[in-house]
Amino acid sequence: MENKMFCYQCQETAGCTGCTNAGVCGKTPEVANLQDLLVYVTKGLSAVTTALRAEGKNVAEDINHMVSVNLFTTITNANFDKDSIISKINATLAAKEELLLELSNKDNLPEAALWNGDQSTFEEKGKKVGVLSTKDEDIRSLRELITYGLKGLAAYSKHANALLKDNVEVDAFLQEALSKTLDDSLTVDDLVALTLECGKYGVDGMALLDEANTSTYGNPEVTSVDIGVRSNPGILISGHDLKDLEMLLEQTKGTGVDVYTHSEMLPAHYYPFFKKYDNFAGNYGNAWWKQKEEFEKFNGPILMTTNCIVPPSDSYKDRLFTTGATGYPGCKHIDGEYGKTKDFLEIIELAKKCEAPTEIETGTITGGFAHEQVFALADTVVEAVKSGAIKRFVVMAGCDGRAKSRSYYSDFAKALPDDMVILTAGCAKYKYNKLDLGDIGGIPRILDAGQCNDSYSLALIALKLKEIFGLDDVNELPIVYNISWYEQKAVIVLLALLYLGVKNIHLGPTLPAFLSPNVAKVLVENFGIAGITTVEDDMKLFFS
Ligand code: FSO
Ligand code: SF4
């Protein structure tokens, strides 16, 4: 039987091979095929911009932003709204046609750069240009690995762009690499090299976002975050976009409405800038996949600034709002250009009519161990390592997810010997951040740097320790990498770590379905990438 769709970009893909009938995430075949077309036309646009740059011509900033937002739109759990995707395809085709007029030499352009069509053809075309249109399984695997890494890079660039920070070299690379995934003359070796180059730009992209965040909101500092509730009505903000949070806090000031963070927005509490808002209440709930029960209990409106959206229940669908690259059919989308203020009044007015959140937890969690904060504690940390009080660091960054097998990460954290410290970032932390693992001489045994993009901080910390201990190689440090992945931002984090020379990363709960046996072999042989087994066996493997 013919597939209705094909997608294998996330860890929860059906049967660990591919979603062919409907997405496990809730993506319909119609939306999946339209997303494939959006990726295709974005690659076409990128081939044109890359050719224009080769002719020495300038590419406007709004085109760079369009490419990033388009890719972000197709990340797992970001946008389920076919109308939003169709309008992005139309806008991309229109922009591409205009740019084609500026291009002198059109001889070497791929089909995607020249294709155009009206809306009635989109879904059929999407079916023809998806993942399986590349027949060779190794070339397909590498093209998808690169595309997913670029989706992650685009997401991080988009957040920096919203804070009015751009890196045109990152944008030019992103577009060139996208266009190279259409180039049939490239060999497996060429694409392996391009994959590693993605890692280099992944580091640059995360550095850009880190600079954008810290120059705007200050350096994260150790912070204790309340996980209980107050008595006022509240708005829950989820996702990664700090600029959206800033606008929401400004507009809710003095309204009697509190703002709570959810999932990946938790690390916002660590930034000094946001501490001035009295109505910035705390963090409500856990990682993205628990949102159905938690959003229902929250009682007030929810603003999704990025993925991960779980298709909402009717009980709260009318209080779910989207912004940025996200979208869900039937949920109100609030837009706004970079540098302009989005209008969240409708959300605030709705909140006023809602009950206060139902308490689901009480207490606090502590985080804020991004690079500057850890550097400030460097003497204590180094002393603890030298004295043997800290024997090892375990990087457990990445994503959380619904799979039962992910209880491995809670069990692993619980089973870790008392002289080991977890370094984390991303929503993976929710598997253990409410455990009381104590501290080592005042250093908590779970150091949370922030969002998944703050894995950059963990890399900086590793490089700093390498320097302090006078080591030649980052792999000589007493650090083990046991990373959990779910969607495509984790792919660029992984490629960035590989670029920085980190070896022997363990990736779970399962290896990506998009790695063909040969591509997986390249990663195993060159970087020592491995999966996970059981907590007991992995403990022996990592620490003996
Ligand atoms: Fe998690 Fe979702 Fe941050 Fe991801 S909320 S899974 S890698 O979007 O982006 O860590
Ligand atoms: Fe399936 Fe994941 Fe793709 Fe959703 S994003 S359709 S769950 S592979």
Mean pLDDT score of the chain, rounded to an integer? 97
Q: Give the Å distance between the CA of 488 and the centre of ligand 1.
A: 8
Q: What is the pTM for the complete model shown? A: 0.98
- Residue 18's CB: how many other CB atoms inside 10 A? 17
Q: Which ligand is nearest to the CA of 29?
A: 2
Q: What is the 3-state secondary structure (H, E, C) of 453-497?
A: HHHHHHHHHHHHHHHHCCCCCHHHCCEEEEEECCCHHHHHHHHHH
What mean pLDDT is predicted for residues 501-525?
97
Residue 246, CA atoms < 13 Å, CB-side half-sphere: 15
Give the ligand 2 atom nearest the CA of 32.
6
Q: Which ligand is nearest to the CA of 72?
A: 1
Give the ligand 2 atom nearest the CA of 9.
8
The answer, yes or no, to whether residue 534 has pLDDT greater than 90, is yes
Give the ligand 2 atom nearest the CA of 23.
6
* pLDDT in the model for residue 66: 98
Is residue 30 a contact partner of residue 122, using CB atoms and an 8 Å limit?
no
Q: Give the Å distance between the CA of 264 and the centre of ligand 1.
A: 7
What mean pLDDT is predicted for residues 179-191?
98
Q: Give the Å distance between the CA of 19 and the centre of ligand 1.
A: 20
307 CB near ligand 1 (under 6 Å): yes
Write down the residue that tokens 């998944």 correspond to.
452
pLDDT tens track for 278-297:
999 999 999 999 999 999 99
pLDDT tens track for 91-131:
999 999 999 999 999 999 999 999 999 999 999 999 999 99
At the second CATH level, the architecture of 223-352 is: 3-Layer(aba) Sandwich (3.40)
What mean pLDDT is predicted for residues 201-223?
98
Contacts of residue 49, Cβ cutoff 8 Å, sequence gap at least 6: 59, 63, 67, 99, 172, 175
Helix (H, G, I), strand (E, B) or coil at 78: coil
Q: Give the Å distance between the CA of 306 and the centre of ligand 1.
A: 9
Give the containing element (helix H, strand E) for 542.
helix 535-543
Give the containing element (helix H, strand E) for 225.
strand 223-226
User: What is the CATH number assigned to the segment(s) 375-543?
Assistant: 3.40.50.2030
The answer, yes or no, to whether residue 544 has pLDDT greater than 90, is no
* pLDDT in the model for residue 85: 98
Judge if 14-216 and 375-543 fold alike in CATH terms: no
Buried b (16+ CB within 10 A) or exposed e, 348-367: bebbeebebbeebbeeebbb
Q: Which ligand is nearest to the CA of 487?
A: 1
451 CB near ligand 1 (under 6 Å): yes
Write down the residue that tokens 């808002």 correspond to.
277
The answer, yes or no, to whether residue 1 has pLDDT greater than 80, is no
Buried b (16+ CB within 10 A) or exposed e, 43-54: bbbbbbbbbbbe
Q: Give the residue among 232, 276, 274 at the shortest CA–CA distance from 256.
A: 232
Dist CA 276 CA 186 (whole Å): 53
What mean pLDDT is predicted for residues 309-317?
98
- What is the DSSP secondary-structure string of 152-173? HHHHHHHHHHHTT---HHHHHH
DSSP strand pairing (234-238 vs 302-304): parallel
Distance between start and end Cα atoms, the chain? 50
Could you tell which of 399, 409, 491 is best to mutate to test the pocket of ligand 1, judged by most ligand atoms within 8 Å of the CB?
Answer: 399
Give the ligand 1 atom nearest the CA of 488.
7
Nearest CA to ligand 2 atom 2: 10
Q: What is the 3-state secondary structure (H, E, C) of 233-268?
A: CEEEEECCCHHHHHHHHHHHCCCCCEEEEEHHHHHH
Q: Hey, what are 247's tokens?
A: 């606008």
Could you tell which of 4, 12, 71, 307 is best to mutate to test the pocket of ligand 2, judged by most ligand atoms within 8 Å of the CB?
Answer: 12
Helix axes 488-499, 455-468, angle to 10 degrees: 20
Query: Is the CATH code 3.30.750.24 the one for domain 14-216?
Result: no
Percent of the chain whose predicted confidence (pLDDT) is above 90: 99
Q: Could you state, in order of their start, the residue ranges of all structural domains in the chain?
A: 14-216, 223-352, 375-543
pLDDT tens track for 251-271:
999 999 999 999 999 999 999
Contacts of residue 96, Cβ cutoff 8 Å, sequence gap at least 6: 41, 44, 45, 48, 113
* pLDDT in the model for residue 2: 84
Q: Give the residue among 376, 373, 392 at the shortest CA–CA distance from 384.
A: 392
Could you tell which of 11, 72, 454, 489 is best to mutate to test the pocket of ligand 1, judged by most ligand atoms within 8 Å of the CB?
Answer: 489
Dist CA 380 CA 298 (whole Å): 40
Q: Give the Å distance between the CA of 53 and the centre of ligand 2.
A: 34
Helix (H, G, I), strand (E, B) or coil at 320: strand
Dist CA 543 CA 77 (whole Å): 36
Ligand 2 site residues (CB inside 6 A) read 7-10, 12-13, 19, 23-25, 27, 32, 76
Q: Which ligand is nearest to the CA of 151?
A: 1
Contacts of residue 313, Cβ cutoff 8 Å, sequence gap at least 6: 292, 295, 296
Contacts of residue 420, Cβ cutoff 8 Å, sequence gap at least 6: 390, 391, 392, 393, 394, 445
| Confidence tier at 430 by pLDDT (50, 70, 90) | very high
8-state DSSP, 310: P
Q: Return the bridge partners of 420, or none.
A: 392
Give the ligand 1 atom nearest the CA of 239.
5
Q: Hey, what are 11's tokens?
A: 């860890």
Q: Give the Å distance between the CA of 14 and the centre of ligand 2.
A: 8
Q: Which ligand is nearest to the CA of 489?
A: 1
Q: Residue 81 — φ and ψ, nearest 5°?
A: -100, 110
Q: Give the Å distance between the CA of 7 and the centre of ligand 2.
A: 6
* pLDDT in the model for residue 539: 97
